[in-house]
Chain A
Amino acid sequence: MGSTEHGRVSVREFQANGSRMAASEVEAKLDQGNIQEAEDSLREGLSLNFEEARALLGKLEYQRGNVEGALRVFDGIDLQAAIQRLQSSFSEKPPGKKGRAHTESASGSQHAASLVLEAIYLKAKSLQKLEKFTEAANNCKRILDSVEKIFYQGIPNIQVDNKLQEIVSHAVELLPELWKQAGCYDEAISAYRRALFSQWNLDNDYCARIQKSFVMFLLYSGVEASPPSLAVQIEGSYVPKNNLEEAILLLMVLLRKFSLGKMKWDPSVMEHLTFALSICSQTSTLAKQIEELMPGVYHRIDCWNSLAFCYSGAGQNDCALSLLRKSLHKHERPNDITSLVLAARICSSDPHLAAEGVIYAQRAVNNARDQNEHLKGVALRMLGLCLGKQSKVASSDSERSRLHSKALESLVAAIKLEPNNSDLIFELAVHYAQHRNLSAALRSARHFFNQTGGSMLKSWRLLALILSAQQRFSEAEVVTDAALDQTARWEQGPLLRLKAKLKISQSRPMDAIETYRYLLALVQAQNKSFGSSQISSKVLDDKINEFDIWHGLANLYASLSRWKDAEICLQKARELKKYSAAVMHTQGVLFEGRGQNDEAFLATINGLLLEANHVPCKILMGGMIQRLGPKFFCAARSALSDALRIEPTNRMAWHCLGLLNKQDGRISEAADCFQAASMLEESDPIESFSSIL
């Protein structure tokens, strides 16, 4: 012991049997290694028996930090014999007998018990400090074994004195820790279970600490615990089957204890639960747990934000957005960049929210400073995406092109900050493609493809679409075939549809029909096995609609003037989706092809009633009105320009408008329209670029 300690040591004293004794003298003897002498002077001074004196000495040595000394002292006591004596003394007096004498003698033997058990406990602690973990654990286990033998019906609440209870509780908590430190993980698990399932009369703090420690073990040890044994299971109760389930259950139990006021708030419980539930994609369950928390645990803004992340993670973006609106309110935390970016991201998926998203994204750009400077690229990217989406619902052409160029500007600025962000590269490629800058689009798409190593289905599809827009159909088909080769069967739907359309573009309708047929078989097989939930959700996202296939086939047969086949396919499509503008449009084409103009007209009107902005219906209608005669040119023009307002890159609309102008005698305007149509034809993809976003 260093001399610095002596200042404090002089204060220490022993106390027993009503008398006191300064510890300094005994300490001096111990320092000289005379355990026997120290023991003698204690026994004389405080009239103690041998075991009591040793126990006190051990405690002194332990408190002084001299664990080796403590062990030497404890080794002098025959703890095994003491335990046996205890057990026999307890079993002589079976519990439940009445009478004062009994309780008194019971408290006497309890005193002796706590003396011995404390000695063993300190021995275990000393061994732990010397890193002899297995030995320590075995000693600690002896305490629990003997307590279990003494109180074989569980520890009764009233009959046990505080000291004994405290030591038992400590030992219960220490044992699993020791096994863990010894690296004996299986023993640790059974020690945890023993601690939590047996009746130790633990108070809430101990119990919560042990449960939390077990949770950490279950979640992070990487050792799989076998499910709890059948012995502890009650009929009809929930039995966790693996680590994750058991950890989540314990964490929920801990949260409930807190809300019942049985436990102090421990923020780490929520963090463990967040981790555990996120790992299995159950952020919606996590949201429920956060909502059930007592108000005041988290700051309301933190709470809203966490909930928003949970809901967004679970795909409930509406919910997430309304929470973020609250937390981004000007009186709350309007400049929190994480929430701003998430809000902008959610808004970027809906043209009608895009304008709101632009505000969030712009605010995020402005606030990307200091520690958050690295997020500037992200903020700019979100700004670009929102602007791009907003341009879709722009009310005028000039507004549209203004938004578009601003969107491009933001995306380009973003990519300067994040040149390696593959998602951004993809978005830029789609953006270029949508505005028919095909060479830039192809460059970006190839960059994206190389960066992701072809691991994304959308990288293949984008490449094929851009190539098809450049009218390089055979190359697009090579890409599609290579992509088919690189995808598992369940995910081939969109690629096969693409392939069918490529065949049509190359005027090989019979091949296209064959491809459609194959696609149909695939989708039907898929539908059959969906009930069994064995297909990942990723596949579900990529799942192609059976309706689309029948509709595509109907269009194909219609273009071949095989009206009967077309009608059959259309009927199939109608069975799957009763009210669809697309079906009405094809129906219109069928009627028109067979010369049933009135019916065709009605079909298109019905289509427009179902979906007011359905462009193909408008174009078809425009064409039909035009044929009614010059009196109706005005109405036809209105239908066609309406179609062009919604979809300015629709070449069919330009073509029809050209025809109209020609008939109307406006030759130069007609020429302009035809030119636009032909230019667009040179850059028309076989499927809309926005279909892959």
Chain B
Amino acid sequence: MLLTYFVAKHKILFWLLPLRFSISHNNSSLNTKLRNPLSITPHTMSGDEASTPSATPKPSATAADSPLKLKTAVEALSSIVPSLSRLTPASLPTSPDLYPQISALLRQPNSGAGDNNLCRWLYDTFQSGVGDLQLLVLRFIPIIAGVYLSRVADRKPQAGFEAVLLAVYAHETTSRAGKPVSITIPDLTQPSVYHEGSVKTSGKGTSTPNSAATEPETAVVSPALEPHGTVRSTRRARIVSVALELFYAKIGQMPVSSKIDFCEFCKMWAGQDGEMYKKFEEGGEKTEEEEEEEGKKEEEAVGSDVAVEKRVKVEGRVPLCWELLQPVMRILGHCLLGPNNNKEVELFEKANEACRSLFSRSMHDVNPKAILPMRSLMRLSKTVMPNNDNLDPTELPFSDVISL
């Protein structure tokens, strides 16, 4: 039985095949729409693995053919989801019905199969190269990644999801051009726009005496990408994480509901209840009321749906390697501490829950690399709690004597 499983190989779908050849065609449209936030420090590259398709990039979807592509996308979508047939090319990016309807379909039991029309539509739409359409597809990355990873253990065919993820991965591979995303760690001995250098060399100090002495330290945030035509199981996490990195890069343009879904999947992936960290580092005793409430919860949990739900959650536990955790934490950071978050109470709550679960998971994995940032996120989220009334420093002092 073991044998037969291993012998069975990945079947590559017919519509996946052009992927390798088409990735070079749609590289720039999304980036011209917004500066690519993962700005890249160039590294010298060699070796054959890094040679991403280097065919002369065709001009990406021009303004002229994008209305046509929008129209095609809308027509194709309405044939797949009849209830969305009222959409027009103009209302497509902003329609409030779009996200809930499509995400409900994506959650259906066989949604990720290779013959799934919706996956095909998402793939085609992303491949169209039209920036707006690509952003539209990116909205569904959390839900696709979430459902996909949680189903891996079930060994269901998920070629449809894989195709969409691979398309996003290929897009990033092309736009990063074989270079890793890295940053230079600032060194305070060197002066910067925000401060003066501290160590002054005596004597005739030339302008850069320090830079020669210490080589600046470089940290790789995301290693160079190799092109992949299929999802190899050992590369699965990497492909998903790159899709999430792109989602994070455009997170300012993503709807709240998509972020909320992401937080829920984080909880599921963690597979760990984080409720014991609700009172994290407060040190206070539980009030009687809370204890009573907890007691009630436990009672409920014994027999009813809650217990079932808990088990379902545990089933979604996935291996959380560092490459996957990295974008997850950045997205969570945005959900918790991003600007204007005080308006999104639900998102903040969900992000907090996700954070607690992931912290709990990192404790269970005894993973210091994850414990540190998750603990900091939890502490920071306390400082921006909606009910935490911080003094507004921009308020002028009030006094009873009103003078000039």
Contact = CB atoms under 8 A, between A and B. Distances in A.
A221 B333 contact: no
B234 A374 contact: no
B360 A374 contact: yes
A322 to B, nearest CB: 15
A285 interface: yes
Interface string A121-145: 1100100000000000000000000
A498 to B, nearest CB: 15
A582 to B, nearest CB: 29
B366 A382 contact: yes
Interface in A218-260: 219-224, 226, 228, 232-245, 248-250, 252-253, 256
Contacts of A185: 252, 339
Interface stretch (A8-16, A74-82, A659-667): A8-16
B364 A377 contact: yes
Interface in A255-270: 256, 267-268
A281 B221 CA distance: 8
A278 B328 CA distance: 13
Given A275-B373, A283-B372, A534-B45, A115 B404 contact: yes
Given A256-B195, A280-B220, A283-B369, A173 B394 contact: yes
Contacts, number: 324
B183 A454 contact: no
Given A256-B188, A285-B185, A375-B364, A482 B6 contact: yes
Interface string A337-367: 0100110010000000000000000000000
Contacts of B400: 8, 11-13
Interface in A476-505: 478-479, 481-482, 485-491
Nearest to A207: B194
B234 A455 contact: yes
B81 interface: no
B344 to A, nearest CB: 13
Contacts of A515: none
A220 B368 contact: no
Interface string B373-404: 10111011001000000000111101011111
A378 B251 CA distance: 35
B183 A238 contact: no
Interface stretch (B33-41, B61-69, B106-114): B33-41
B153 A451 contact: yes
Interface stretch (B46-54, B93-101, B122-130): B46-54
B3 to A, nearest CB: 6
B8 to A, nearest CB: 9
Given A219-B337, A275-B376, A478-B6, A15 B401 contact: yes
B235 A533 contact: no
B394 A174 contact: yes
Contacts of A275: 329, 333, 373, 376-377, 380
A111 B371 CA distance: 54
A521 interface: no
A279 B233 contact: no
A311 B228 CA distance: 34
A309 interface: yes
Contact of A453 (B192, B233, B402): B233
Nearest to A23: B402
Interface string B323-360: 10010011001101111100000000000000000001
B41 A177 contact: no
A173 B223 CA distance: 38
Given A224-B36, A275-B373, A371-B276, A242 B183 contact: yes
A535 interface: yes
B219 A475 contact: no
Contacts of A238: 186-187, 190-193, 216
Contacts of B333: 219-220, 275
Interface in A279-326: 279-283, 285-286, 306, 308-310, 312-313, 320
A36 interface: no
Nearest to B198: A256
Contacts of B178: 534
Contacts of A272: 376, 380
Interface residues of B, number: 111
A538 B324 CA distance: 13
A183 interface: yes
B223 A278 contact: no
Interface size class of A (residues with CB under 8 A): 35 or more
B373 A534 contact: no
B402 A224 contact: no
Contacts of A306: 372
A223 B330 CA distance: 12
Contacts of B2: 446, 463, 475, 479
Contact of B236 (A167, A183, A453): A453
A478 B8 CA distance: 11
A576 interface: no
B394 A528 contact: no
A245 B183 CA distance: 6
A406 interface: no
Contacts of A253: 188, 192, 194-195
Interface in A165-224: 166-167, 170, 173-174, 177, 180-181, 183, 185, 188, 196-197, 209, 211, 216-217, 219-224
Given A223-B252, A234-B193, A63 B398 contact: yes
Interface string A511-542: 00000000000000100110111111110000
A528 B47 contact: yes
B188 A534 contact: no
25 contacts: A16-B404, A60-B402, A209-B393, A232-B193, A233-B193, A236-B190, A236-B207, A237-B193, A240-B186, A274-B373, A274-B376, A275-B373, A278-B373, A282-B219, A283-B369, A309-B372, A338-B371, A382-B366, A453-B233, A456-B319, A475-B2, A485-B232, A488-B226, A531-B46, A532-B44
| 3 tightest Cβ-Cβ pairs between the two chains A and B | A224-B37, A529-B47, A453-B152
Interface of A: 8, 11-16, 23, 48, 52, 55-56, 59-60, 63, 111, 115, 118, 121-122, 125, 166-167, 170, 173-174, 177, 180-181, 183, 185, 188, 196-197, 209, 211, 216-217, 219-224, 226, 228, 232-245, 248-250, 252-253, 256, 267-268, 271-272, 274-275, 278-283, 285-286, 306, 308-310, 312-313, 320, 338, 341-342, 345, 371-372, 374-375, 377-378, 382, 418, 420-423, 446, 450-457, 463, 475, 478-479, 481-482, 485-491, 525, 528-529, 531-538
Given A224-B39, A374-B276, A454-B234, 11 more contacts: A15-B402, A216-B337, A237-B192, A238-B187, A249-B192, A275-B373, A320-B368, A451-B317, A532-B46, A534-B45, A535-B223
